[in-house]
Structure 1
Amino acid sequence: MLAFELAQRFRKTRSEQRFISFISMSSTIGIALGCFVLIVLLSVMNGFEKELTSRILSVVPHGELYSKSESGIENLDAQLYRLSQDSRIASVTPYTGITGMLQSKGELKAISVTGIPVNSVSDKYTERVTSEDWQRFSTQKNGLIVGKGIFASMDLNIGDIVQILIPQTTQDLTFKAPRSITLSISGVLSVGGELDNQLGLMHLETASEAIGISSKSQGIQFTLIDPFSSYDTMRDIGYSYPQGVYMSDWTRTQGHLYNDIQLVRAVVYIALTLVIAVACFNIVSSLVMAVRDKQAAIAILKTMGATDRLIRNTFVLQGVINGVIGITVGVVLALLVAPNLSEIVRFIEVAIGIEILSGDIYFIDFLPSDLHWQDVVVTVVVAMFLSVGATIYPAQKAAKVSPSSALH
């Protein structure tokens, strides 16, 4: 292709064209850097979203219905069976929730304990509780599993006897002396972040008895096929439920994490797309100077019969070559780094002795990465579009060069 051959020749640098070459190289480096950072950061955002789903949403229910009545859920078994037939629901679990103060060795700490049917939910906690702790918990009716943060901050040990103080109110909304439950520490729950300082697990029967639930449970927890549809799904189920219930979903309690991830993703995409765009403006600068420098050559080509289309395509290809080189280098580097980012960051943490993500603050203690090919494709398409767009003005300017004035 003649236009490609001419573009390759025009890219060759003479000593007096080194400044043009420098600008051209800077545009290539800018595009490569923009594509590399954009793909890597999008992979990090994907990693956070994946960890949110696999960690937080594996323990926190996607949705909840809990009875307005103090007696609990009516006709529990029939309702569980009916709800389990819904194609949007993966599983339903009865539960009783208790919020109170955990007392041990003269210390108090707020805790949110969930009473669960131990035998039917063991798979849900296999990665968060050791098999030894779960076995001990399942055989102790008064057993209590507490979050890792609570276990450490209160200096607890397996087998310690603790009390949970449950506040009570009267009809006139005055407080009575709290009700007390005596339990034994059976194990440790490790979810990550603030949840380790809040959560606890106990037997459903013990929890229901402690707060006077006359039915089997206070409410029902839902695990959905699509957890991100929880808002609409739970309201659809709640409004049609035959009993007066309150409804909730994970977006009310943990949704800020997901919203933060989406906000950062949008900001990253906009910012780094602008970086690529700025790099592409350097293509405009380099091509405009190249057109001015090559006016005589363009004029000679036109006198030899070269059409405006050929001249235009020559300079478009010259700019596109810079874009393709930059995109290729950036994408290849990103494909090498993104899948191994967690290990690279872990090595850096060990080398410099600084922890980037603290498990006490964040719900994970490492930098996750999950490369999605659609992110790579979108990045390449956007970068190519900007690269081609940057060549249009200089190419038009080259096509309008007049042989008579250029050779004068």
Structure 2
Amino acid sequence: MKLLWQLAWRFRRSKRQSGFTSFISASSTLGIGLGCAVMILMLSVMNGFERELKDRLLAVLPHGDLMAVAPSGIEYWPEQVERLQAIRELDYVVPITRMTAMLQKGREMKAVELTGLDPSLGGSHRYRQLLDESQWQRFKGHPDRVLLGEGVMDELKLNPGDKVQVLLPRLGEDKFSAPKSVWLTVAGSLHIGGELDNHMGLVHLSLAAETAGIDSGAQGLEFGFADPYQAPRLMRRIGFDFPQHVYISDWTRTHGHLYQDIQLVRMVVYLALTLLIAVACFNIVSTLVMAVNEKRGEIAMLKTMGASHGMIIKVFMLQGLLNGLIGTLVGSAVGVLLALNISDLVLWLENLIQVRLLSGDIYFIDFLPSQLKWDDVGITMFIALALSTIATLYPAIKAARVAPAKVLTG
């Protein structure tokens, strides 16, 4: 085996090799390295977005909900909550009431979706982490307080302590009935990120149920699970077994496009960069074919000295594999370094050019996340080395078919 490596390395570093062959060889190594580095970097960025989606957005948003079909709300919801808490995968289940309303301050109006919840129940902790303790205590201790998203606060120019008028549609025989009006005091602002901050608000469950006319005290139930990606399956199971007609929903229906976009980009990255690595590997074919034509004499001499067909094939496969191995190792090392530091590099670039690449007003994060997974590194290296090995087969077999008698007497 040592002899095979020595021959492969000597053929690769031969001074008789033409400049064009050397250029094609270097370009194949560079292309493989570039493909590996970019693939590792892009997969790490997609992993980062998926992590932020789970740890930031899904840590606050409910993973699923059941909303009563009947206008009276969920019947005997305390008993239902107690029954559902026995589900092993469940993190929390809390009663809620949702209302679509208009907020008015002076001449400014803004449509929002108000969620009524009980701040003393366990599920409220996900919102508590978005506020400082003083704001949460002001909200918790006064039923006439409201928490609003930062976008709503900015658009209506509200500050904590301001009073705002809430206009709710009123159903009745006369379709022109005046909306129901409630005055609430702003307790603080919520910041989740993206469009959510522009249309969300929290009020007390008792106030929401009374205002919306929910006789049972809760319009529906919100669920959180230990693994949010299991929410679609678990919500269907819970909803089908529920003793009352309910509408079933989960986060994949409302915000699932974010997760689907991440998975789509991941698949496109795999496909596009695998093709890039494959194109770079095809340069190995060109390099080895030219190398075989240049070294027909050396191949003939090796055969006359007793080298077998298998030995010649292995020598040229190793010669081509050296290009793939060097490109894979260097490219993977560069990709790992970039993946570990891309967030800081992008932040430095943003400060340098004074441009925000990710705006917190549009996206749920305002920085470029990255999470390196060694499984991705291993898969990338395997793909590159496998394609490099396949690319060496044809030239190696062609080298083994060189006829010594014809070459040495020609």
Q: Same fold (TM over 0.5)?
A: yes
1:148-167 mapped onto 2 (5 Å cutoff): 148-167=150-169
1:87–1:303 CA distance, 2 compared to 1 (3 A): same
1:16 CA drift (Å): 5.1
Tell me the SS of whatever aligns to 1:248: strand
Q: Structure 1 regions of 5+ residues with no counterpart?
A: none
Letter in 1 for 2:385: M
Distance (whole Å) between structure 1 residues aligned to residue 329 and residue 111 of structure 2: 54
TM-score, reference length from structure 2: 0.97
Given residue 354 of structure 2, which amino acid in structure 1 is its aligned partner? Answer: G
* CA distance in structure 2 between the partners assigned to 1:11 and 1:80 by the alignment: 72
Q: Return closer, same or farther for 1:38/1:403 CA change in 2, 3 Å cut-off.
A: same
Q: Aligned partners of 1:22 and 1:218: how far apart in 2?
A: 71
Supply the AA of the counterpart residue of 1:301: L
1:301 is aligned to 302
Cα pair distance change 1:373/1:171, threshold 3 Å: farther
Give the conservation status (yes or no) of the 8 Å contact 1:72–1:218: yes
* Structure 2 unaligned regions, length at least 5: none
The code of the aligned residue for 1:304 comes to M
Task: Tell me whether 1:108 sits opposite 2:117 in the alignment.
Answer: no
Q: 1:356 to 1:98 in 2, by over 3 A?
A: same
Matched, 1:81 2:60: no
CA RMSD of superposed structures (Å): 1.3
* Secondary structure of 1:111 counterpart: strand
Distance (Å, rounded) in 1 between the aligned partners of 2:129 and 2:367 = 17
TM-score, normalised with respect to structure 1: 0.97
Task: Give CA deviations for 1:45-70 in whole Å, capped at 9, x if unaligned.
Answer: 11111111122212221100011112
Q: Closer, same or farther in 2 for the Cα pair 1:372/1:126, shift >3 Å?
A: farther
Structure 1 residues 64-112: Cα deviation after superposition (integer angstroms, max 9, x where no partner)? 0011112211111111111111122221111111111111122111101
Aligned partners of 1:56 and 1:191 also within 8 Å: yes
2:407 paired residue number? 406
SS in 1 for 2:51: helix
Deviations 1:205-245 (A, max 9, x none): 11111111122311100001221122222111111100111
What per-residue deviation string (whole Å, max 9, x for no partner) do you get for residues 111-166 of structure 1? 01111111224421243222221122112211111011111111101111112111
Within a 5 Å distance, the mapping from 1:100-249 to structure 2 comes to 100-120=101-121, 121-170=123-172, 174-249=175-250
Alpha-carbon contact 1:167-1:175 (below 8 Å) kept: no
d(CA) in 2 for partners of 1:332, 1:126:
42
Is the deviation greater in 137-146 or in 28-37?
137-146
Question: Could you tell me whether the CA contact under 8 Å between 1:284 and 1:393 is conserved in 2?
Answer: yes
Once residues 16 and 77 of structure 2 are traced to their aligned partners in structure 1, the CA distance between those partners, rounded to angstroms, is 85
1:22 partner letter: F
Residue pairs, 1:7-406, within 5 angstroms: 7-14=8-15, 17-120=18-121, 121-170=123-172, 174-406=175-407
Contact 2:117-2:124 within 8 A present in 1 as well: no
Q: Give the Cα separation in 1 of the matches to 2:39 and 2:153.
A: 40
Residue 50 of structure 2 aligns with an amino acid whose one-letter code is E
Q: Which amino acid aligns with 2:144?
A: N
**SS of corresponding position for 1:359:** coil
Which moved further from structure 2: 13-22 or 300-309?
Answer: 13-22
CA contact (8 A) 1:26 1:282 kept: yes
Query: What is the distance in 1 between the residues matched to 2:230 and 2:202?
Result: 26
Tell me the distance in 2 between the aligned counterparts of 1:75 and 1:16.
Answer: 85
Aligned equivalents of 1:326, 1:353: Cα separation in 2:
35
Count of aligned pairs between the two proteins: 407
Separation in structure 1 between the aligned mates of residue 172 and residue 406 of structure 2, nearest angstrom: 97
CA contact (8 A) 2:167 2:179 kept: yes
